[in-house]
Amino acid sequence: MEYRVEHDSMGEVNVPADRYWGAQTQRSFENFKIGIEKIPMEVIRAFAILKKSAAIANNRLGKLDDRRMELIAKACDEILEGKLDGHFPLAVWQTGSGTQSNMNVNEVIANRGNELAGEKLLHPNDHSNMSQSSNDTFPTAMHIAAATAIEEQLFPSIDLLAGTFGRLMEENKGIVKTGRTHLQDATPITFAQEISGWKNMLEKSKEMLALSLDGLRELALGGTAVGTGLNAPEGFDTEVAKAVSELTGKTFKTAENKFHSLTSKDELVFAHGALKGLAANMMKIANDVRWLASGPRCGLGEIFIPENEPGSSIMPGKVNPTQCESVTMVAVQVMANDVAVGMAASQGNFELNVFMPVCIYNFLQSVRLLADSLVSFNNNCAAGIKANKEKMDENLNRSLMLVTCLNPYIGYENAAKTAKKAYKEGISLKEACIDLGFLTEEKFDEVFKPEQMV
């Protein structure tokens, strides 16, 4: 491999000749060979947005000339287009402030910009990082990445699955089945009503996530090192937030209190709580589906789901609810990530949080996993759900909890006696009720209407 010599304030470093990063990136790359987890590209893209926005703001405020602004903007555009993905090699497990990733972006922008210019016009600290500090850029990148991921990755996935449940509700109107509580038979419900619960879970989760976006749209940029705004011109914070909004088409604003935005990560904790809520809902939905599809002969068997893969290497013909299992594993991971995000956010010591890379890594993994798993579950399972009407009807008519509709006519205790007699002797509720003398056959038929119990 060929190398070139780069230097920083600590001296000279050999850097691969075909890479745009510089000395500080190389030092981090060599010093933190830990794990396989890299700073997510969503964060790098967010950095490109904020660096371009900072250049625009600095130019508007008279601190950066047009030529340098244009070069920074062009390099940032190439990052946003994915052309420079191979130039961001740093591990999550680096400095907790994300300083080395901030410098990675600064160095790539400067070196690529200089290449575009054909001369050395950009310095990573003096120009790429003008009016900034790692301490305000990394939390800003976190917020831009988090808000964008929720809106652009997760919301469409939620809408897709909610739409499928809406279709299934229409297709299954009028089908009455056994309701269940405590995994025990309960009073009847329509299948459409049951599906409506799943649909509303997704809608509620989306509402909570939308609420969390307000906090994520607040940017720390302009606070520089400790929140005082040292070395940033007057009005830079509002001007750069305006530029970010212009570039993204989304509304971002400068954080009112930079001392809070540098050291606290409570907006991410709040938003990830909503992600955990969605994960909990998906765990419930997936479990409902696999319980209802259990069988095919020795389980509930009330719905059919798509048969996608062989389920066993030893049992021929076995098919398993694999999409449900995938969703529930994702839910477990998101719940675990919530612990990591919360723990990381609690480590704001004095004027800075130094657990930021692990915080945003877990946050974005949760968004990515939920978005992908909802689409997979929708396309490979939910979209193909079919009601087994015969099994639903059979289970409904065998349910002892239909006796509840007799309460107004024979009372709770007599209804309980009827159910227990029917269960013990293996007879119908009608037979038990008549044998006990609580109702005549004619009266029983008149009041016993399971389809009216929904």
SS3 156: helix
> Which residues are designated catalytic?
182, 312
User: What's the rounded Cα separation, in Å, for the pair 24 and 26?
Assistant: 5
Q: Tell me whether the omega of the peptide bond preceding residue 310 falls within 30 degrees of 0, making it cis.
A: no
Nearest to 86, CA basis, from 170, 137, 23, 16: 16
Antiparallel, parallel or unpaired: β 253-254 and 303-304: unpaired
Q: Give the pLDDT score at 244.
A: 98
Report domain 399-452's class: mainly alpha
Quickly state the pLDDT bin for 94 (edges 50, 70, 90).
Answer: very high
For the residues 155-159, what does the mean pLDDT come to? 98
SS3 305: coil
398-413 in b/e form (b: 16+ CB < 10 A) is: ebbbbbbbbeebbeee
Query: Taking a C-beta distance cutoff of 8 angstroms, is the pair 231, 139 a contact?
Result: no
For all residues of the chain together, what is the average pLDDT? 97
How far apart, in Å, are the Cα atoms of 421 and each of 399, 447, 448? 13, 19, 17
For the residues 141-158, what does the mean pLDDT come to? 98
Q: Give the pLDDT score at 103.
A: 98
Q: Give the pLDDT score at 284.
A: 98
Report domain 136-178+188-217+260-390's class: mainly alpha
Q: Give the pLDDT score at 347.
A: 94
Quickly state the pLDDT bin for 337 (edges 50, 70, 90).
Answer: very high
Report domain 3-130's class: mainly alpha
Q: Give the pLDDT score at 307.
A: 95
| Cα four-point dihedral sign 289, 294, 299, 300 | positive
User: What's the rounded Cα separation, in Å, for the pair 403 and 410?
Assistant: 10
3-class DSSP string for 114-128: HHHHCCCCCCHHHHH
Same fold, 136-178+188-217+260-390 and 399-452: no
> Domain residue spans in the chain?
3-130, 136-178+188-217+260-390, 399-452
* pLDDT per residue as tens digits for the range 225-256: 999 999 999 999 999 999 999 999 999 999 99
Query: Taking a C-beta distance cutoff of 8 angstroms, is the pair 276, 338 a contact?
Result: yes
